[in-house]
Amino acid sequence: MSNPQRPLHFLYPINPKHGTLGIAGSKKILPASLENFKNTLNNSWDTEMGWWLTKNIGLIEKGDFIWAYFTLPISGVQGVGKVQKKWVDDSHAGPPTVIRIKWDKTLTKKLWKSPITFKELGYAPRNAAIHAYPKYQKVLDARLPGNK
């Protein structure tokens, strides 16, 4: 079996009603609202977030894209970043694998103005993080520089 071509793209669903946002390098955990996501990044675009994985643990690598899909009531992709690091953290009760994400300021701000909606994507990811199948990949690729 051949290795997939890098970087790969993953959709990471965020539930604004029940989820959390982890700030890498700190013990800070915030409710996963779109407002908290935007405020954290607007305070410092150097902020990296540490997010826990439940799927594709062995597939995600440094340099892969993470597309932040906020679930209902938002239902759309509101951010994109690249994996900076992956590690095992068994200091909490949840899934042990964590990825550190550095958000792309230009692309994420464009997504805030014009998110990739559920209707446009044609799919709502359920578990973190889901590899983007080719048909969904086309929608994501269209938002990357040089692919219009």
pTM of the model: 0.86
Q: Please, which residues have CB within 8 angstroms of residue 97's CB and are 6 or more apart in sequence?
A: 52, 53, 57, 86, 87, 88, 89
CA dist., res. 100 & res. 27, Å (int):
14
Chain segment 34-90, per-residue pLDDT in tens: 998 998 889 888 888 888 777 778 889 999 999 999 988 888 999 999 999 988 877
Band of pLDDT at residue 130, cut at 50, 70 and 90: confident
Residue 2 pLDDT exceeds 60? no
Instruction: Report which of 43, 25, 39 is spatially closest to residue 78, judged by C-alpha positions.
Output: 39
Indicate if the pLDDT at residue 108 is higher than 50.
yes
More reliable by pLDDT, 141 or 94? 141
Q: What is the mean pLDDT of the chain?
A: 84
Asked if residue 115 has a cis previous peptide bond (ω within 30° of 0), the answer is no
Which DSSP helix (H) or strand (E) runs through 69?
strand 65-70
pLDDT number for residue 26: 66
